[in-house]
Amino acid sequence: MSKDASNIRVLFLGPQNLRNGSAADFPQQSKAVAEMGAEFVVYDGDSDGELIEALKDADVAIAAGHGVDPSLFVHMGNNGRCKGLVSFGHGYDGMNLGAAVENGVILANTASFGTEEVSNQTMMHFLVCSRKFVLHDKLVKGGTWTRNHLAPMGHISGETFGIIGLGDIGRTVARKALAFGMKVIAYDPFVSSWDAKEYGVEIVGSPQEIAKRSDYVSSHTYLTPATHHMVGKEFFELMKPTAYLINCSRGPVVDEKALIEALQNKQIAGAGLDVFEQEPIDPNNPLLKMDNVSVTNHYASYSEVAWNRANTQLGEEAMRVALGYWPMSLINPDVRSTVEPRDWAVSWEVMLAEQGK
């Protein structure tokens, strides 16, 4: 059913150094807003008081580089005109989901924009670890040509790849691991075994089983109180001494101190890490000195294509919220119990057709 978007205002909360702009300065973020004929307003204030006033005149807000204090939720949702907040990225560990639900604030992000990129980064670390690339790259560049440090080295085909979290990224990693001829197992309490079967994945009942059976363990879960340090001392004690840990999710999912001890005690063979508990990482962190650890600086989700898609998704999700639809990437589903019923999320192409655009 077509709805009038001409009176809709989308408030864009950009980085501090990108204030005082217009929709023309943010062509990707404002694209969907323009397609619907709504107004894209760039916030130019500096205080919470100014933001509260701006939220009173907006139907939805986009946060792209601008922190939003959860205390502001009392001025949104069921308490004001602004019904939701769409934020850039995959993670939402900085959000207070409880406060948003209590106030009826719909929260969304741009999950899936970097699915291919993060899964590729995961497979890169997996291959780097499996082929001991860090050590041999260092040796050759240092003038040492030797075959004395080859064994043990995994065969890959026929080995077991264990995934924690079978969401968009986890499923894509599974597809790529299967292409290497691996057996893929996964732990995700929210995915049924019959659904996982469609992806060629065996669901297991606990993280501990992932630890025991896997030759490579890869984390693809959000950071929540339940997943904080999910991979810790007990987990490493269960892993094979020939197994590797890959983490391209969130640093605190892994107990870094326990990981360092496991590596130093040779409880596991190595690790591939894109994320850390402290970022930027301390230059003196022992992980940076280990020849069996590959590291990157939390850029797994990046490519120009992915970044462009994420910025476009911001506007699309904002318009879904503003027009009375649920967003595609709702990160606080419990809010369904505290707000009025909405239309189910549909693809952008279908939405344009429904709105007569």
Biggest alpha carbon–alpha carbon distance for the chain: 71
Q: Which of 213, 298, 316, 317 is catalytic?
A: 298
Q: Is 309 a catalytic residue?
A: no
Which residues, 6+ apart, have CB-to-CB distance to 143 below 8 Å?
none
Q: How far apart are CA 345 and CA 5, in angstroms?
A: 17
Distance CA 70, CA 251 (A): 23
| C-beta of residue 266 within 8 angstroms of C-beta of residue 200 | no
First to last CA, the chain: 12
Measured CA angle at 191 (ends 123, 124), to 5 deg: 5
279 has catalytic annotation: yes
Sheet with strand 293-295: strands edge to edge: 202-203, 183-187, 160-164, 216-219, 244-247, 270-273, 293-295
Cβ proximity of 10 and 38 under 8 Å: yes
Number of H helices, E strands in the chain: 12, 12
Q: Which of 140, 91, 97 is nearest to 250 (CA)?
A: 91
Catalytic site residue from 250, 256, 317, 320: 250
The reply to whether 250 belongs to the active site is yes
- DSSP letters, 128-194, are HHHTTHHHHHHHHHTT---STT--S----TT-EEEEE--SHHHHHHHHHHHHTT-EEEEE-TTS-HH
Cα-only R_g, the chain: 23
Which residues participate in catalysis according to the annotation? 250, 279, 298
